[in-house]
Amino acid sequence: MTFSDKVRAALDNKTKPIGSLGVIEALAAQIAEIQQCLTPSADSCTLTIFAADHGMAEAGVSAFPSEVTRQMVMNFLDGGAAANVFARSVGAGVQVVDAGVSGPPITHPDLIQNRIAAGTRNAISQAAMSSDQLDDALAAGADLGRALTSDVACFGEMGIGNTSAASLVSAKVLGIEVETLIGRGTGLDDAGLSRKSTLLNQAADRTSPQLEVTVALQEYGGFEIAMMCGAMIGASEAGRIVIVDGFIATAAALCALRLHPECSKNFIYAHCSAESGHRKVMDALEVRPLLDLDLRLGEGTGALLAWPLVKAAAAMLREMASFDSAGVSGPG
């Protein structure tokens, strides 16, 4: 009997009709496979938020100015953002990483300094980062992912302009038109959305319709997206459950999967966001999210909301009585 057969048998022998817990059973089986254990645990969770700025934000691809990235980093560190509130409500830890916020380095005792540069270059007209910068971002992220000690790893991001970067990276990796992935991001009006579309099509026209992952990240990515990609790979290598958040996190997951396909067994997709490109990327990956709540904030908020389902699925497999142990008659 294979390990997968043992998991299926354990689930089918719980005191319930076979398959009656639906997606929760599939989730429990995935967690058992990740940990190679019939009594898995998803009781501890850490959210890591990567922050960085994008040169193309200065061209007007976002409704908010770049200085909001720095301001939100301070808000995270002060515990005042939605991600902090959700983390407290579910008992998750939070750590914040400066991957490349514009301006001088931020000095704070709780901030992880993995700063690649003070933001990327303007990807509308040139490559966002050098190959060395990309390598550094991926390596720093992998180190952070491997160092996590919690059962579950959630990754969030903050970076004005990063839905534009995610759209361009995803389009180039998948070989599709960037126009199909462009959404309102942080709340653009119709005029702003039209401007964003024009700018991103201009950026896309610089390069071939489809690019290798590392080239796509170098040309269009953000330091936070590249570092998150590395962290997802590192956490998977360390045997962690990785809950993938919204559109930007899913773009990072797409890149991670193309670089290390074996990560797929560790990835659980939290939700489908209201950002128009998110569903298209998940459809391309052929994955099903746990939730659909019209979220479009990022920060890892959706991943945190999904963690209780992951935790419950693991607990069900670990703690729920079997027909034999409970003395309950099974199906005839």
Positions annotated as catalytic residues are: 299
Kind of pairing, strands 45-52 and 111-113? Answer: unpaired
**21: amino acid identity, one letter:** L
- Return left, alpha or beta for 273; rule: phi > 0 is left, psi -120 to 50 is alpha, else beta: beta
How many Å apart are CA 232 and CA 60, to the nearest integer? 30
Cross-strand bridge partners of residue 113:
98
C-alpha to C-alpha distances, 106 to 66, 102, 111, 113, nearest whole angstrom: 15, 10, 8, 8
Angle between helices 162-174 and 247-259 (to 10 degrees): 40
Angle between helices 162-174 and 276-285 (to 10 degrees): 30
Write out the two tokens for 239: 């045997």
Segment (H or E) for 96: strand 93-100
How many Å apart are CA 189 and CA 129, to the nearest integer? 29
Phi, psi for 105 (deg, rounded to 5) = -55, 140
